[in-house]
Amino acid sequence: MAGEKVTSAQVAKAAGVSQSAVSRVFTPGASASSKTIEKVRRAANELGYRPNVLARSLMTGKSKIIGLVVAYLNNQFYPDVMEKLSKELQAKGYHVLVFMVEQTPDNIDDVLEKILDYQADGIVLASVAMSSELASRCRAEGVPVVLFNRTQDNDMLSSITSDNVAGGRKAAEHLIQQGYQRIAYIAGWSGASTQRDREAGFCEGLAASGLKLFAREDGNFHFEQAKLAARQMFSVDERPDAVFVCNDHMAFAVMDVLRDELGLRIPEDVAVVGYDDVPAAAWGSYKLTSVRQPANRMVEQTITTLLSQIEDDDAAPLRLALDGPLVVRSSSVKP
């Protein structure tokens, strides 16, 4: 039947079942017996039938599309998370559209406008923010938005993060317990809630033991900028004996500079702690102590929150901060 548009009625006739049975077979989550599924799919393959997803969305009022917006993929944490989010949403019958954006309000709002044009059922923002105006528009149009690994001062938006304040505090307590005194910090991008909260928790942990930051530089979550920050921080006579870096991506850059450029030993001369616990943190070349983000639980809660708001327009926004452990490796343990 090349060149012709095969209908579900033709598939039903060929399979010897009702048209509604064909619809159930091709509707994610709908029930049909294994015998019916086998007959329908065999007939569909022989006829070259493909279900019309757009037509179904017009009938149901749901596009089954989720917009996933990410600012960058250099940090190993995000490719892993995007794979988990995409697989879980696809398993629940949703189509995922991935959009890459620059971390500026205008770029993000332009992309979100496009997602709304696609009639997306929901939006996940992975470490990006949105304007209050666009958040209000999404709310008015019934399109739920969940922030992943980021929060905003907006009660209309749901957010799922690790407990960044507690994580920063754990990093400080660990370094103090190891006996370090000149403890420094390399910050992420100042506009990110993750940066703000991790630094706040870290400083709280230091203050509880009567310490203040010995030094501070900005890495802005960029590898090369983190290298520059490390050069500036450690190319002095009285340098820190420990540093907490706002994420692992930057911590690897810092460790490379300390060892390869400045000839310092880790941890004998300088201890290093990161945040995220990406797979490379466990590699033998780094063995980086890091605060682990509970990525699986964060993904699970993000999807649960998003789908509950898609199914119930009156569902209240949810803001969760999930605790993650400090994974201690040799980068921070005094010999």
Helix (H, G, I), strand (E, B) or coil at 47: helix
Task: Name the residue among 48, 41, 46 with its Cα closest to residue 25.
Answer: 41
Query: What is the reported pLDDT for 139?
Result: 74
Q: Is 120 exposed, middle or buried (0-12, 13-18, 19+ CB in 10 A)?
A: buried
Query: What is the reported pLDDT for 227?
Result: 98
Helix (H, G, I), strand (E, B) or coil at 217: strand
The DSSP output letter for 150 is -
Query: What is the reported pLDDT for 58?
Result: 47
CA dihedral 35, 37, 41, 42 (to 10 degrees): 0
Q: Which amino acid is at 17?
A: V
Tokens of 191: 């506009």
Helix (H, G, I), strand (E, B) or coil at 72: coil
Sign for the pseudo-dihedral over CA of 9, 15, 21, 25? negative
Distance CA 10, CA 83 (A): 37
In tens digits, what is the pLDDT along the chain, a chain of 335 residues? 444 678 888 888 998 998 888 878 877 667 888 889 899 889 888 888 877 655 555 445 567 889 898 887 888 899 999 999 999 998 888 889 888 877 655 666 777 777 777 788 999 988 776 666 777 777 777 889 999 998 888 777 899 999 999 999 999 999 999 999 999 999 999 988 999 999 999 999 999 999 999 999 999 999 999 999 999 999 999 999 999 999 999 999 999 999 999 999 999 999 999 999 999 999 999 999 999 999 999 999 999 999 999 988 888 889 999 999 999 999 999 88
Query: What is the reported pLDDT for 322?
Result: 98
Distance CA 126, CA 214 (A): 32
Q: Which amino acid is at 111?
A: V
Query: What is the reported pLDDT for 11?
Result: 86
Distance CA 282, CA 84 (A): 20
* Residue 64 near residue 93 (C-beta atoms within 8 A): yes
Distances (CA, A) of 208 to 107, 176, 180, 200, 211: 41, 10, 14, 12, 7
Helix (H, G, I), strand (E, B) or coil at 184: strand
Query: What is the reported pLDDT for 106?
Result: 61
Query: What is the reported pLDDT for 215?
Result: 98
Domains of the chain in start order, with CATH, are: 8-51 (no CATH), 63-162+295-322 (3.40.50.2300), 164-292 (3.40.50.2300)
What is the per-residue DSSP string for 225-246? HHHHHHHHHHSSSS--SEEEES
Query: What is the reported pLDDT for 1?
Result: 46
The reported pTM is 0.81
Q: Which helix (H) or strand (E) holds 204?
A: helix 193-207
How are the residues of the chain apportioned to helix, strand and coil, as percentages rounded to the nearest 5? 45, 15, 40
